[in-house]
Amino acid sequence: MHLDFERDIVEIQEQIDKLLDLADRRGIDVSDEVTVLRSKLQDLKEKTYANLTPMEQVQVARHSQRPYTLDYVARVFTDWVELHGDRGYRDDEAIVGGWARLGGRSVMIIGQQKGRDMKENLRRNFGMPHPEGYRKALRLMQQAEKFGRPVISFIDTPGAYPGLGSEERGIGEAIAFNLREMSRLKVPIVSVVIGEGMSGGALGIGVTDRILMLEHSIYSVISPEGCAAILWRSAEHKEKAANALKLTAKDLHAIGICDEIVPEPRGGAHEDWDAAADVLQEALDRTVSELEKLTVKKLLAQRWAKYEAIGAWRDS
Amino acid sequence: MAWFRKDKKPLKAEDRRDVPTDVFDKCKGCGEILYRERLAQNLNVCPTCGYHLRIGAHAYISILMDAGSFEEFDADLRAADPLGFSDLKDYPTRIAAAEAKGKNEGLLSGTGTLEGIDVVLAVMDFDFIGGSMGSVVGEKIARAGLVALKKKIPFMIVSASGGARMQEGIYSLMQMAKTSTVLARIHDEGLPFISILTHPTTGGVTASYAMLGDVNLAEPGALIGFAGPRVIEETIKQELPQGFQRAEFLQEHGMVDRVVDRRELKAMVGTILRHQFAGWSD
């Protein structure tokens, strides 16, 4: 699968494949031509991915071949033990959680999980959690607190699910309660946006000491489509909305909301899951190590100061 | 019997004739034509059907605070345009238009007394860009909460909001975290936080401070939810049941402690605060 702005990249890739096929069938040496094309391909990928428009970033962030939470869990951590359920209603598979090991220490992992195919997506509700998902996440975070272990939260959701059951069981309350409790959790918490972080549904597992963002991930108060539908009165204006919302990792790093951009392999994380995981592992291990040095008092004071400073207004 | 419970007979048909338009309102609940002055005396609750008409932030302050006790703070905070946002209009133009109506950036906050109890009160104003939560709303709530923390007195918020202020992008979203952080500190300090939800309270406000009260009180009939009804209908492709996301529905589903008539709101909050915190003088 390729995205529309990748047309030139795909064309070169096809030329390479044709040449290799030709070489295979006729025994011709095409190595010089292939070398030239491969270098051209790499240059083009680099150039394309360094200059994505905000809406193109949105497409990459939602790429169906992009690694999801459990793909990183398998590559970044060891000794993974998934834990299920909120102990109140059911297990919401749009959020996964459990113990794992990172750099010799145990950590609690929380993450929104999209499905890879239709069958899995029905089970995981396309990564859109219900209240019980947020309550499971909090239960596990409080378990981490009990044992003095750090929490790592993977953000990747189109939003909390807007449905009947979701509202009946208090999606607003579930998210609100997580915000309050995460802000007073007495262990280090780090979040990393790996794909799309949309609205309160993302923030519900996102009140953390550090916010990392993968290079091509996005974080926003509303999707560009939703914003365009309301403010431009048509979802067709999504590109304008994507520009205006300042939702890319680069934009959010520039205004200090994102603490660190985690670089992705050339052409995006979907091109090389292992390489993307390696870079993320280093960033997470380093970030958690820094936070572990702080006393609980200092940790909380820093967390509060971080959030209390966010905003822009005029005094007049 | 309290003054506001005095028997009020519905207007007779002959009273309605030739009434100038600036002295009456039509009840949205039952269609009854009501004298504005009489309606105001009844706190804008329809005497016939009990429908709660929407009222502004100043009206809630006069309903909840003892007369003359309220002192506003942070009245000079005004919205900025951190993202340089422009849709069909640019954001500064929208702010200027809202400010021209004489409204205070979506929220009034200050200290006062409620039945003699010192409290910090913040009231949202739906008339300012749909009561949307931007940086100023978040900052004013955070500052108000810190005053409650410093003075060790109860904190109350009256909510009315369409959700996030999209024109402030991620700043708007992060106000949910900011306000919840301050409420965590109030919680840890053992101070009461009373949340009063009025029509409508939706989006990021519902998913942050509005749902975090030790006691959540809601006005009758108020629409309260995270996702708006239209978004839900579009998602599930069916019509929503009658009364869905209304205050009574939320009480039934365990999300608000009580649905309280506006005319009984102050007395109810006073009683709760004395139970929780202030104690009884007799």
My answer on whether A250 and A288 are in the same domain is yes
The total domain count for chain A is 2
What confidence category does residue B105 fall into, taking pLDDT thresholds of 50, 70 and 90? confident
My answer on whether A233 and A94 are in the same domain is yes
Domain for residue A316, yes or no?
A: no
* Closest Cβ–Cβ partner in B76, B240, B241 for A316: B76
Tell whether the model's pLDDT for residue B18 goes beyond 60.
Answer: no
pLDDT at B26: 87
A155 touches chain B (CB under 8 A): no
A224 touches chain B (CB under 8 A): no
Give the pLDDT confidence of A251-286 residue by residue, as tens digits: 999 999 999 999 999 889 999 999 999 999 999 999
Partners of residue B79 on adjacent β-strands: A313
Strands A210-214 and A189-198: parallel
My answer on whether A91 and A132 are in the same domain is yes
Rounded to the nearest angstrom, the minimum Cα separation between B87 and chain A is: 6
Kindly report the average pLDDT of chain A as a whole number: 96
pLDDT at B1: 45
The enclosing domain of A75 has a CATH number of 3.90.226.10
B96 touches chain A (CB under 8 A): no
My answer on whether A283 and A185 are in the same domain is yes
Interface of B with A in 190-219 (CB under 8 A): 203-204, 206-212
**Max CA separation in chain B (angstroms):** 60
Rounded to the nearest angstrom, the minimum Cα separation between A241 and chain B is: 8
Q: What does each C-alpha distance from A9 to A15, A187, B93, B207 come to in angstroms?
A: 10, 45, 43, 43
My answer on whether A8 and A131 are in the same domain is no
My answer on whether A65 and A187 are in the same domain is yes
Tokens of A4: 């529309």
Contacting residues of B for A161, CB less than 8 Å apart: 235
Question: Which is nearest to A6 in space by CA: A47, A35, A39?
Answer: A47
Domain stops at, among A16, A31, A51: A51
Tell whether the model's pLDDT for residue B273 goes beyond 60.
Answer: yes
Q: What is the C-alpha separation between A208 and B236, in angstroms, rounded?
A: 32
* Closest Cβ–Cβ partner in B170, B181, B210 for A183: B181
Contacting residues of A for B181, CB less than 8 Å apart: 179-180, 183, 207, 303-304, 307-308
Q: Hey, are the CB atoms on A203 and B173 less than 8 Å from each other?
A: yes
Domain for residue A315, yes or no?
A: no
CATH class given for the domain over B55-276: alpha beta
Domain for residue A297, yes or no?
A: yes
My answer on whether A100 and A234 are in the same domain is yes
Domain stops at, among A15, A34, A51: A51
Domain for residue A150, yes or no?
A: yes
My answer on whether A80 and A123 are in the same domain is yes
Tell whether the model's pLDDT for residue A165 goes beyond 60.
Answer: yes
My answer on whether A144 and A161 are in the same domain is yes
Nearest-Cα residue of chain B relative to residue A219: B170
* Closest Cβ–Cβ partner in A173, A177, A308 for B142: A308
My answer on whether A78 and A112 are in the same domain is yes
**Domain locations along chain B:** 21-53, 55-276
- Interface A-B, measured as beta-carbon pairs within 8 A, has a size of 192
Tokens of B231: 């978004």
B181 touches chain A (CB under 8 A): yes
Kindly report the average pLDDT of chain B as a whole number: 92
Average pLDDT over residues A22-43: 90
Kindly provide the ipTM of the predicted complex, given to two decimals.
Answer: 0.95
Range of the structural domain that residue A8 is part of: 4-51
Give the pLDDT confidence of B126-168 residue by residue, as tens digits: 999 999 999 999 999 999 999 999 999 999 999 999 999 999 9
Please report how the helices A31-50 and A7-26 are oriented relative to each other, as an axis angle in degrees rounded to 10.
170
My answer on whether A25 and A142 are in the same domain is no
Domain for residue A314, yes or no?
A: no
Which ranges constitute the DSSP H helices of chain B? 13-16, 36-41, 57-64, 91-100, 135-151, 169-188, 229-236, 247-252, 265-273
The residue among A173, A252, A296 with the most chain B CBs within 10 A of its CB, best to mutate, is A173
Domain for residue A40, yes or no?
A: yes
A185 touches chain B (CB under 8 A): no
My answer on whether A128 and A22 are in the same domain is no
Q: What is the C-alpha separation between A192 and A180, in angstroms, rounded?
A: 19
pLDDT at A54: 97
A227 touches chain B (CB under 8 A): yes
Tell whether the model's pLDDT for residue A45 goes beyond 50.
Answer: yes
Average pLDDT over residues B25-36: 89
Residue % of chain B over a pLDDT of 90: 80
Q: Hey, are the CB atoms on A207 and B78 less than 8 Å from each other?
A: no
What confidence category does residue B281 fall into, taking pLDDT thresholds of 50, 70 and 90? confident
What confidence category does residue B282 fall into, taking pLDDT thresholds of 50, 70 and 90? confident
Region class of A233: left (phi > 0), else alpha (psi between -120 and 50), else beta = left
